[in-house]
Amino acid sequence: MRNPVKILTRFPKRVLDLDWRLLLLILFSLTLVAYVSLSSSSSSPTTLLVSVSNLIPFKSLIRARPIQPKLHPLNRSRIAVCLVGGARRFELTGPSILERILRVYEKSDLFLHSPLDSNSYKLMLLSDSPRIASVKIFKPKRIPETPQELRVLTAHTSPNGIQGLLQYFNLVEGCLTMIKEYQEEHSFTYDWIIRTRVDGYWAGPLGPENFIRGKYLVPAGSQYGGLNDRFGLGDYNTSVVALSRLSLIPKLDSAKLTKLNSEAAFKAQLTTQNVDFVAKALPFCIVTDRCYKFPPSGFGVPVAAMSSPGPLSGAKCRPCKPVCTGPCVGPVMNRLYRGWSWMEWRNNTINLCDAHREWEEGWQGLFDKVAGTRLAGARKKVATLSMDRCVQGIKKLRKQSAHWYGPTAQEICRLGLESGR
Ligand SMILES: *[C@@H]1O[C@H](CO)[C@@H](O)[C@H](O)[C@H]1NC(C)=O
Ligand SMILES: *[C@@H]1O[C@H](CO)[C@@H](O)[C@H](O)[C@H]1NC(C)=O
Ligand SMILES: *[C@@H]1O[C@H](CO)[C@@H](O)[C@H](O)[C@H]1NC(C)=O
């Protein structure tokens, strides 16, 4: 009589599944025993009664109706996910984007805008996306530079000069154009637009708290003299302003703004158009192959280990054995200019790599440990991909997309698999 619950759980599960009446009978007799011992008042029978009724939900035994989870409003909202950029390390980032962005909200449509190169075949991983509205894989062309753009922008911090900035702006705004075309065709407007990058690794899901009406959400830190532009999320109207990166340059010019880098131009775009913004910590980082001096200082760039606890809010990262953790991190981060590459590091969110050389030997194992077996599967799959499987994969992606603008599957795969990886 010491432990009636134990007696219950010792019944083989199958018996319980087979006959609920048996369970009810046992419960009834237990209650009876408890009741009897209550009237004879030996030990402490009331607690026995209470504990049995707490453990067995009587109501659910009587009415075994399945519990309907209430649909989160965001699961009813129409969301466009704009994914832009080159696919360089997409075998590492792709599965995380699928799992933690594309599969989180039910009515989200993917728009992919990506330049064609020898890594484009890796985009085949997106063929598992739940809803693909439009894919555009284009051959990059030189964009003419207007006098306005030459005045407003600076080549100073862009590795490929003003042309590099214009290519990037075109990538972002081109995605908005794709979204507008799709809306017109189907006569509706998206409630939200999520703008994210092909080279972003998502360590956790994009949570509902990041959808804020009337404000444009950007990642905290890594401001580079303006606003972190490695991710953005807003309702339709604020997103139109945030994504119009080329077409708003004349407005910046008439506001007499000059020599802006990408982040400063982005901030000016929002402020001149009276769009409020809010910066939040977000669980992603930008996977980069570039090398950076270590330890960074001043205008230097810190590179986080992908294994950092995070959130990394869009900091640059790579798979590495960190060389600087715990008490080492603060002094390094405090030597960086606050409004530039600096990011929040307290609470031990970040571990630093020495990224002055190429990725270290054994990075694959380090990555797999971070991503887990399931997400790391894509890395292995892509590393041993045959031409046939590649063509099949790209064809599947094309078939899943409502709209496809791009070369043939054969062309994309040959570019990747025949140029000696
Ligand atoms: C939206 O629905 C999916 C499954 O359909 C569910 O996993 C997810 O938790 C829901 N999102 C929210 C914010 O409730
Ligand atoms: C969005 O912009 C349109 C046109 O500029 C306007 O009619 C509409 O009221 C705006 N919506 C919201 C929610 O502000
Ligand atoms: C550190 O973590 C605590 C508890 O989660 C939180 O309240 C605090 O704001 C964090 N501090 C910083 C600087 O992020």
pLDDT-derived band at 151 (thresholds 50, 70, 90) equals very high
Q: Which atom of ligand 1 is nearest to the CA of 69?
A: 14
Domain count within the chain: 3
| Whether residues 134 and 44 fall in one domain | no
Say yes or no to pLDDT of 50 above 50: no
Say yes or no to pLDDT of 196 above 90: yes
| Whether residues 187 and 113 fall in one domain | yes
In a domain, 72, yes or no: no
| Whether residues 127 and 251 fall in one domain | yes
Summary mean pLDDT of the chain: 87
Mean pLDDT, range 318-324, rounded to an integer: 97
| Whether residues 129 and 195 fall in one domain | yes
User: Which pLDDT value is given to residue 156?
Assistant: 81
Q: Is 280 in the pocket of ligand 3 (CB under 6 A)?
A: no
| Whether residues 204 and 101 fall in one domain | yes
In a domain, 376, yes or no: no
| Structural domain for 300, as ranges | 288-371
Give the predicted TM-score (pTM) of the model.
0.83
Instruction: Give CA–CA dist 335/360, Å, rounded.
Output: 25
Say yes or no to pLDDT of 96 above 90: yes
User: Which pLDDT value is given to residue 62?
Assistant: 47
The dihedral over CA atoms of 415, 417, 418, 421, expressed in degrees to the nearest 10, equals 110
The more confident residue out of 72 and 325 is 325
Maximum alpha-carbon separation in the chain: 97
Q: Whose CA is nearest to atom 13 of ligand 1?
A: 72
| Whether residues 354 and 402 fall in one domain | no
Q: 278 forms bridges with which residues in the sheet? A: 217
DSSP string of 304-369, one letter each residue? EETTS-S--TTEEEE----SB-GGGHHHHHTTB-TTTT----GGGT--B---SSSPPTTHHHHHHH
In a domain, 46, yes or no: yes
Mean pLDDT, range 306-318, rounded to an integer: 96
| Whether residues 86 and 100 fall in one domain | yes
Residue 155, CA distances (Å) to 171, 219, 226, 375 in order: 18, 23, 15, 37
| Whether residues 259 and 141 fall in one domain | yes
* CATH number, residue 86: 3.90.550
Residue 11 has what DSSP assignment?
S
| Whether residues 254 and 236 fall in one domain | yes
Q: Whose CA is nearest to atom 5 of ligand 3?
A: 347
In a domain, 50, yes or no: yes
Q: Which amino acid is at 145?
A: E
User: Which pLDDT value is given to residue 68?
Assistant: 60
pLDDT tens digits for 107-121? 999 999 999 999 999
Mean pLDDT, range 20-35, rounded to an integer: 49
Query: How many other CB atoms are there within 10 angstroms of residue 187's CB atom?
Result: 6
| Whether residues 11 and 149 fall in one domain | no
In a domain, 380, yes or no: no
Q: Is 344 in the pocket of ligand 3 (CB under 6 A)?
A: yes
Of 192-206, 302-316, 329-343, the one with minimum mean pLDDT is 329-343
| Whether residues 220 and 251 fall in one domain | yes
pLDDT tens digits for 292-308? 999 998 999 999 999 99
In a domain, 420, yes or no: no
> Which pair of structure tokens corresponds to residue 280?
């939040």
Instruction: Give CA–CA dist 200/190, Å, rounded.
Output: 23
Strands 132-138 and 401-405, sheet pairing: parallel
| Whether residues 83 and 171 fall in one domain | yes
Q: Is 181 in the pocket of ligand 3 (CB under 6 A)?
A: no
Q: Which amino acid is at 387?
A: M
Cα-to-centroid distance, 213 and ligand 2 (Å): 12
Residue of 103, 106, 107, 194 to test ligand 1 pocket, by largest number of atoms within 8 Å of CB: 106
In a domain, 107, yes or no: yes
Cα-to-centroid distance, 238 and ligand 2 (Å): 9
